[in-house]
Every structure is written in structure tokens, then in C-alpha cells.
Structure 1
Amino acid sequence: MRISIRDYAAGAAVATELVNGSPSVRGAAGEALPDPAALAEFLAGHDVPLDAPGARNPTVNDLHQVRLLRREVRAVLEAATEDDAVAAAGVLAGWAGLAPVLGRDAEGGWRWEVPTRAGAPLVAELAAFVGIGLLGVVRTLGHDRFRACAAPGCRGVFADTSRAGRRRYCTPDACGNRVNVANHRARRTSEPKEASPR
């Protein structure tokens, strides 16, 4: 696999969804990756270009290793300092990542890429993909783009790669909607009631 350094948002999105798919974040919804088929669907849904043997058909061991990887990724997103985040993401990138090289993009131009070690296991390639993505976020957008979800009671974390940088929720469609609905209900109950005509 060759990981484009410019396309950091893809790695950051995988990091965010991977961490927030944990039962400790999802609560009653449970594990987002319950079996190897769900892992295969997750990887395909994010277009993660893994070269690892068996990457299209992950095993139970691959699933177990990816679930353990969540802790390492979460540690990057929760790092207290920029230096700590860079060091931790660099370790992830090194699981399978090799020295950067120049490669051709789809238009024939040059771009920086990080190739991965031939024969690296699925989890090592995924760690490199995520690590490079998170390093790109720090370099391009800053460490302050690693955030905890603003929804009350949510343990989610995320890398905000939005242009404006104002994202507040780990999963805007879930946490954001839940907060908006709660705020709407609170406003409605606090509005003065009109007197009914007699």
C-alpha cells in the first residue's frame, strides 16, 4: 500500500470511526465491529487500500488486533500535547510504514507517499494509514483539531478535518441530533403557554 501524505482526512476519518465504534463509546448500541465481515465492510466503506494478505477477508485474529488498535488510536486523539500526539501517531505510522517516497498521482503529478512493508499484517497497515492521517491533521490543521465529543455523557473523540474547524460531535448524525432534539424540547417546555380562549 502507498499512503498519500496529502490525503490525511481519509486516515483521520477511519481513526475517528474506529475509536467511536467501541462498545465503551456506543453504549447500548454495542460493538460496531462484531465480526470479521463487519471489519471487511468497514474497510471497504472507507476505501482503505490495504495490501495485507487476506485484507478483503479478515480473520477473527485480524478483528481482535484491530479492536486492540483502538486504544492506541484513542491515545493519539486524547494526547495532552502536540508533541505527545505526534510521537504516538509516529509510532502507529511505523507499524508498517517505510520512508516517504515520491509517487505519481492520478493526474501524473508528483506526491509524497508512505509505502508499507510488503507482507505486513492488516492491523499494521491500518495503523500506518491512521497514523499518517493523524500526523497530517497535526501538520496541516493543528493539534487542537483532536477533540472530545461535546454531547453530554458521550465518551467519543474525533479529529476535526472540516474546513471551518467547528465540529463539536464525534458523530454529528447521532450525538449532534440528540443534543439538538434535547435543546428543542427544553426550549418548548420553557416557553410561556398562551392562555386558552374561554
Structure 2
Amino acid sequence: MKFNFSDYSFAAQVGTDLVNTSPEVRTVGDALADPDAVARFLTEHELRTGIITHGDAPSTRDVDDLHVLRREIRSILEMETEDAVAHAANALVERAGTGPFLDRDDSGRWQWYVATPANTSLGDELAVLVGTGLLGVLHTLSHDRFRHCTASDCRGVFVDTSKAGRRRYCMPGVCGNRRNVASYRARQLAADKARTQRKGRTDA
């Protein structure tokens, strides 16, 4: 396969989502616990037909490889310097990638790509994909787009590729909603307490 450096947003999101399948983020368990879970992850990210070598279903070895890869990606997202990120992301790309080389995209524009051989393992395919994405983010946006989730009860990390750069949660639909619900309940509790206190003064 070949991966476009300009398509960093998609690749970085795959990296974010892969890291946050870990049980240290998802308290309900490992979201990549078996080959079927890996197949679902690939399908959800529209990677199933493109990345699995020769169309084979994921194996237990693929599961193990992705568990190792997500730890590697997390360590990159938590690195404190741009140079460290660049070095580690380059290492992901170099695992199976060749290039970069210039080629036209579907619209005829010239783009920089990295390619992988046909027999590349699933883990190495994803390493190259995510590595190119992280390098693209580092080059186009900046190192400060690599962040920890701000939800107090979450250990997730993420890459913010939004235009405004104001993303706060690793999984906005989960962590963001959970924070909103908690805030709402706290306000309701405070309001109930205030009403009880007012009622107590009135009864007195």
C-alpha cells in the first residue's frame, strides 16, 4: 500500500483510536482483545479491505502486534520534545515503508507518499500509516497537538487535528458527554441543596 503524508488527519485519528482501545483507558476492558475485535476496528476505520494482507482475517499474532504498537504510539504521544517525536515516528515509518516518493493522487495533484511491500504484516502496515500521520501533524500543525485527555477520570491521549485546535477529550462522544453529565448533576445537587436550605429558613 501507499500512504499520503498530506492525509495526516485520518492517520493520526487511527493512531489515537488505536491507543485508546487499551484497558488502561477503557475501564470496561480491552477493545482489541481478539481477532474479531481487530477486524471490527479495521472495518470501523475503513481499513479492512485495504490493509489486511491478501484479504486474510486478523490472527492472534496480529492482536499481539497491535497491542505492542499501541503502547509504542502512546509513548510517542507523551514525548516531551518535537525531536523525540520525529525520531520515534520516523522509526515507525521505517519499519516497513519505502520512499518518500512523488505521485499523483486521484485528482491529479502531486503528493508525497510512502509505500509498503505486498507481504507487510498488519502491525507494520498500521505502524507506517500512523507514523506518516504523526509526522504530518508535527510538520503541519505542531507538537502541542499531542495531548492528554482533560477528563479527570480518563487516561486517554489523542492528536488534535481540528482546525481550531481546541479539542479537549480523547473520545469527545464519551469523555465529553461524561463530563457534561457530571457537571449537570453537580449543578442539580447544588440547586437542591440551596432549595432545602431556603425551605429550612422559611419553616423556621
* Superposition TM-score, scaled by structure 2 size: 0.90
Q: Residue in 1 aligned with 2:44?
A: 45
Where structure 1 has 5 or more consecutive residues not aligned to the other structure, the ranges are none
1:77 and 1:53 map into 2 onto residues whose CA distance is: 27
Matched, 1:108 2:108: yes
Query: Considering only aligned residues, what root-mean-square deviation do their CA atoms show, in Å?
Result: 1.8
Per-residue deviation, residues 36-80 of structure 1 (Å, max 9, x unmatched)? 122122112212374552554111111111111111100110011
Does the CA-based 8 Å contact 1:52-1:122 persist in structure 2? yes
Once structures 1 and 2 are overlaid, which stretch shifts more, 122-131 or 98-107?
A: 98-107
Where structure 2 has 5 or more consecutive residues not aligned to the other structure, the ranges are none
Once structures 1 and 2 are overlaid, which stretch shifts more, 38-47 or 188-197?
A: 188-197
Q: Residue in 2 aligned with 1:59?
A: 59
2:76 and 2:159 map into 1 onto residues whose CA distance is: 10
Once structures 1 and 2 are overlaid, which stretch shifts more, 2-11 or 55-64?
A: 55-64
The 5-angstrom pairing of residues 25-174 of structure 1 reads 25-27=25-27, 29-48=28-47, 50-54=50-54, 56-174=56-174
Paired-residue identity, %: 49
Does the CA-based 8 Å contact 1:157-1:170 persist in structure 2? yes
| Structure richer in helix, relative to its length | 2
Helix, strand or coil at the partner of 1:33: coil
1:109 and 1:138 map into 2 onto residues whose CA distance is: 22
Once structures 1 and 2 are overlaid, which stretch shifts more, 157-166 or 98-107?
A: 98-107
Q: Residue in 1 aligned with 2:11?
A: 11
Cα drift, residue 189 of structure 1: 1.9
2:92 and 2:82 map into 1 onto residues whose CA distance is: 15
Structure 1 residues 105 and 190, CA gap change in structure 2 (3 angstroms): same
* Superposition TM-score, scaled by structure 1 size: 0.93
2:121 and 2:43 map into 1 onto residues whose CA distance is: 17
Q: How many residues are treated as equivalent by the alignment?
A: 197
Cα drift, residue 117 of structure 1: 2.8
In the alignment, residue 193 of structure 1 is paired with which amino acid? Answer: R
Helix, strand or coil at the partner of 1:24: coil
In the alignment, residue 14 of structure 2 is paired with which amino acid? Answer: V
Specify the structure having the higher radius of gyration (Cα): 2
Helix, strand or coil at the partner of 2:99: coil
